[in-house]
Amino acid sequence: MMTKNTVSRFFPSLSLTRTSFIVSTWAFAALLNSTSVSALALSAEDFQPLVPDKEQQAASIHVSRQLLLSHYRKQPIDRVLSERIFENYLNALDSQRIYFLASDVESFEPYRYRLDGALKTGQLEPGFNIYNNYEKRVIERLTYLLKMLDAGIDKLDFNKNESLQTDRKDSPWLTTKEEMDDLWRKRLKSAVLSLKLSGKTDEEIMKTLRTRYESQLNRVLQTRSEDAFQAYMNAFTGVYDPHTAYFSPRTSENFNINMSLSLEGIGAVLQSDNEYTKVLRMVPAGPADKQGQLSPADRIVGVGQGKTGEIVDVIGWRLDEVVDLIRGPKHSTVRLEVIPAGTKDENQTKVISIVRDKVKLEEQAAQSKVMEIEKDGMTKRIGVIDIPAFYADFKAMQEGDPNYKSTTRDVKNLLKELETEGIDGLVIDLRNNGGGSLQEANMLTGLFIKEGPTVQIRNSRGVDVLKDPDPELVYGGPLVVLVNRMSASASEIFAGAIQDYGRGVIMGSQTFGKGTVQSVRSLNHGQIKITQAKFYRVSGASTQHKGVIPDIELPSTIDKTEIGEDALPEALPWDAIEPVEHTKYTSTSDILDQLKGRHEARFNATPEYKLLLEQIEFLKERRETTTLSLNAAERERLQQELDKKQLELINKSRVIKGEKPFKTIEEKEEHDNELAANPKKDKELDFVAKEGAEVILDLIEFNQRFATHSDNPAHYTLR
């Protein structure tokens, strides 16, 4: 909706009485939706700069004090930090270097070493001046695109051999308007070409792109000083670490917007990523998790309602606006148009249908299965417990409900059930478990050790140690813990403790590396989420940055350069503190080479593993593509090759599962839509879980002390 402030910012000569405001807004909207927005002759001369208010100035001072006094990383706000804030701000606004000219950046240079003093005293003009310049450049680019559409897409030459660079973050700033125009001509040409190859007519292409660019322009025109202030403050907080952030009053009202979305929409945690809405992770047992097609680092570019509703382009929208569009009635369908993770062509999208629902606590609960494996003429029974999250029903706990649900309680009950069934070993599956309750991670570890420390937490006051006070060893048999890149926080605490105690073998890929603790504090204007502590394992090693390195590492399709703590700018580094005394049950080092040898021999002969390696290589090739051809024939050839390879990999997977191959990509998409309407409730055991069971059988064969139920385990005192 166009506001009074928006109109006055760009058309200050308009008389804004109540009546004239309504008429003027209507007229502006009519022009915006007419044949060409360029009829407005919108330019830098029409732009009225955003200015900070007194509350924002005071908030800048409060944020500075909070960072100085309370942040885990004790770093002064000085000239050195000022330069980092300066670079971080430019990168946040224009990471691809497609808006600012070199002359713009040169004009900002006087601010490079002055932001420290300005922020501490509430002088926000430097940040606002840069933001206002950014807005003007965005308006110029969007009006340029709309003028090109006015001229007609038939003027674009698709027989010419030229290309578009897909990643410009390390490129130099362009120096002239002509260079910038040429870059954006190529961007438009690429967008048109992608839509042509998707089967759209020229008329449909014109409509799609005009709607997209006008919508983006409309949102730029609605920008308020609060948007500039939040962007500037987050460039400031972001140099301390990626999890420290400023929330404006409006954002503070929706501080739990990600969790609210998880519980009321599709079950995905989203974040803003420049002009895109990016998928951070899926909520365990949520609609998106069950549907299975949405992935971390996918970028949402469109949202459609129902099975046939028009998909609305959401590029350039605010996060809360996108969330509002994704939310909807339970059991209704929402369609997301996404750029798949790692895809360089921003116009190469796919549509994913998800049926909205609420995430029920019972669906996030740990679940168990028993796997039977034939070994040397005998049937071995291996229990598998899948733990999607570290949860606790705090409300029921506070109300005194003796049967309240929690991860530890549920797993303890499952272990007793599995013991009754007579299992020979146990696999704990923490893949895609993004964490949760720290207390639950502590107590869950206690089920697998007699007693002792589980994690260290260091803050400004010193080091606190969480311990398992219960001497009961619920399960002391052979144990394998499965992890992957999306295993984070509480998952890493548990896996790290199991590894440090020698209680089991950790198997999978390097975990996320989220080893910090945040708290939220209210300010005079908004809130600040600030990192105040750091997790350390009982061995003294931090889980921050490095995460947990598995004993047996497996390759993964997840791109470590894009997902994980070490992929985030300004992430706190790994370090170590003194270990705490703990009982080491056994050492895997003596048998690890043997375990790895047997594992590799099995995996190399496994069709699923061979397919996984093919998928990884395919994704790697796509990520390494740095240019897009703007020649229609060449682009079509490359697209056909891509579709063919994707279909080939999909069909190999189906054949391995005993399913009928798809004949076309379209047939596969129809099948996906059917699955979206009826997602599977039970997660099938995959080949990695089955390999975990095989590793347990190797452990048993090697007669290691992992299998002991003795009350007197081997004790190595570590200091």
Rounded to whole angstroms, how far apart are CA atoms 648 and 653? 9
- As a whole number of Å, the CA-based R_g of the chain is 28
Under 8 Å between Cβ of 528 and 237: yes
Rounded to whole angstroms, how far apart are CA atoms 385 and 670? 33
Q: Using N-to-C axis directions, what is the helix angle for 177-197 and 632-656, rounded to 10°? A: 50
Rounded to whole angstroms, how far apart are CA atoms 564 and 546? 9
Count of Cβ atoms closer than 10 Å to residue 275 Cβ? 16
Under 8 Å between Cβ of 477 and 555: no
Rounded to whole angstroms, how far apart are CA atoms 460 and 302? 45
Strand, coil or helix: 309: coil
492: closest CA among 558, 533, 544, 451? 544
Longest Cα separation, the chain: 90
Between the CA of residue 443 and those of 86, 359, 411, 505, what are the distances in Å?
44, 24, 11, 19
Pairing of strands 425-429, 479-483: parallel
Phi (first) and psi of residue 374, to 5 degrees: -85, 125
Buried b (16+ CB within 10 A) or exposed e, 657-695: eeeeebeeeeebeeebeeebeeeeeebebebbbbbbbbb
Per-position DSSP letters for 131-152, written without gaps between them: HHHHHHHHHHHHHHHHHHHHH-
Task: For residue 609, give both structure tokens.
Answer: 């593993």
Pairing of strands 462-468, 452-459: antiparallel
Phi (first) and psi of residue 313, to 5 degrees: -70, 125
Count of Cβ atoms closer than 10 Å to residue 561 Cβ? 9
Under 8 Å between Cβ of 339 and 349: yes
Rounded to whole angstroms, how far apart are CA atoms 370 and 382? 6
**Which residues form the catalytic set?**
489, 500, 514
Per-position DSSP letters for 235-275, written without gaps between them: HHHTTT-TT-EEE-HHHHHTTTHHHHHHHHSSSEEEEEETT
Element housing 561 (H / E): none
Count of Cβ atoms closer than 10 Å to residue 613 Cβ? 12
66: closest CA among 571, 523, 517? 523
Secondary structure letter of residue 489 according to DSSP:
T
| Residue in this structure with the two tokens 């970028």, named with its chain if needed | 299
Give residue 462's region: left, alpha or beta (phi > 0; psi -120 to 50). left
Buried b (16+ CB within 10 A) or exposed e, 180-217: beebbbbbbbbbbbbbbbeeeeeeebbebbbebbbbbb
